[in-house]
Amino acid sequence: MAELDFKSAFELMALIRRREVKPSEAVGHALARVETLNPRLNAFVAMRAEQAMAEARALDERLARREELGLLAGVPLAVKDLEEVAGMPTTFGSRPFRDNLAAEDAIEVARLRAAGAIVIGKTNTPEFGHSAFTRNLLFGVTRNPWKLERTPGGSSGGSAAAVASGMVPMATASDAGGSIRLPAAYTGCVGLKPSHGRIPAGPRLGMESFNGISSVGPITRTVTDAALYLDAACGYHPADSESLPHPGISYLGVIERMPKRLRVAFHPDFGHAIERGVLRAAEEAARAFGELGCTVETINEAVPETALAWTTVRAAQLLAQLADVIPAHRADMNRSFVAYTEAAANTGWREYGAAQRTRAEFNEWARRLFERYDLLLTPATATAPFAANGPPPSEIEGQRLADPLLALVFTYPFNLSGHPAIALPAGMTDDGLPCGIQIAAERHRDDLVLQAAYAYERLRPWNHRPPQI
């Protein structure tokens, strides 16, 4: 059924509800596409084909009986291998966890399945989601559907490759420093990092996330699908103490209600180097908001430097989770990941305190900015997708990077602050690779982020331009 290639979840759901397509046909088509494309992309690392088809056929029968179906009934779903799917291993992209069988679904996965989505498999991630490209010792490297020699980004690279290539219309992802938004930008997808706590997360290796920087959310091909996903997954859960109450609205229901005359700031570089082609595309995308009736102002004010603070906070969290694992399994783990994580043992209270003060400084900068503007636009990344095997760029436009994180300079600050942010396709670089624009808004204004993204998508549609693999 080639006509199902690259259908959005919203379109697929409509076809299913009109009984023009059966859930089993949608899932069967997705599985066939995985079988054809995955050997080249390595997006999926584990499948549950038989279980998925059984669930789809059960939905066929419910549909035939005209029973009430969930919001995502029959939609094929991929799950990042940092999240649990009952009965499947959750490996975290790490050899020591290859047999770590999940007893239950992660909260987000359980809610998506309760809405009728059908999990077909798990997607690749770097070890514990640590890097901006997707490669690990257990499953190998994942490739970008637009150019196989390039990375789809990380850490949700498998999810992004699966969605961008049309294997599935949506996938779960997580973002502690840009891991939803970077892969979305590198593959021409939509990647939403909701406000921190908007979608409950967990379990997390038996411990709470004490640093509050990681969010779970969707990678999709359309903004409408991101809103659908958020409607299905958001709302408080007692297992996640950082989760937020339900907002009391349907994000899909309000997506077309972008307020008029929004004040929009565009910051082109956060004070750092950016590739010319990526900047050009972001500038063109920012100008589109003027066509939407917004007042757009380019700003160049100094942004607090947060790379060291983010590294301090993130590494401390990883070491707290893995301090007992690494000594027993060092030989089976990526050496650079181990070195990065164990270096956190040298972080004392002075360094940690300095990181938290920097975090507060960025939050104050954001507070002042969102008093003056409704939205902030930035490029989503500083570069086009780099080599699939890495490493990330060490220089941009001839300028050496003092810290490799500066290639990701637009994303991780909003993990420290918890603001919602979305990455959308901005255009193509000179060598035909996708690049993105990021929209951020005040905390808990996920609705405004989606409204602005949807208006932009309607003005500059891109979903008709799939990669030719």
Catalytic residues, by residue number, are: 80, 155, 179
- Spatial distance between the Cα atoms of 449 and 442, rounded to a whole number of angstroms: 9
| 169, 225 contact by CB (below 8 A) | yes
- Spatial distance between the Cα atoms of 405 and 425, rounded to a whole number of angstroms: 22
Ramachandran quadrant class, 261 (left: phi over 0; alpha: psi -120 to 50; beta: rest):
left
* Residue 67 three-state SS: coil
Q: Which two tokens stand for residue 418?
A: 């918890």
Q: Could you tell me which of 241, 233, 177, 245 has the C-alpha nearest to residue 411?
A: 177
For 64-153, list the strands marked E by DSSP: 76-80, 118-123, 135-136, 140-141
Sign for the pseudo-dihedral over CA of 12, 163, 193, 368: negative
- Spatial distance between the Cα atoms of 76 and 205, rounded to a whole number of angstroms: 27
DSSP codes joined into one string, 209-256 = -TT---EEEEEESSHHHHHHHHHHH-S--TT-TTPPPP-SS-HHHHTT
Q: Which two tokens stand for residue 104?
A: 């239950």
- Spatial distance between the Cα atoms of 394 and 391, rounded to a whole number of angstroms: 8
Sign for the pseudo-dihedral over CA of 119, 122, 123, 128: positive
Q: Could you tell me which of 91, 117, 136 has the C-alpha nearest to residue 26?
A: 117
- Spatial distance between the Cα atoms of 125 and 304, rounded to a whole number of angstroms: 30
- Spatial distance between the Cα atoms of 423 and 417, rounded to a whole number of angstroms: 17
What angle, 0 to 180 degrees and rounded to 10, lies between the N-to-C axes of helices 307-322 and 349-372? 130
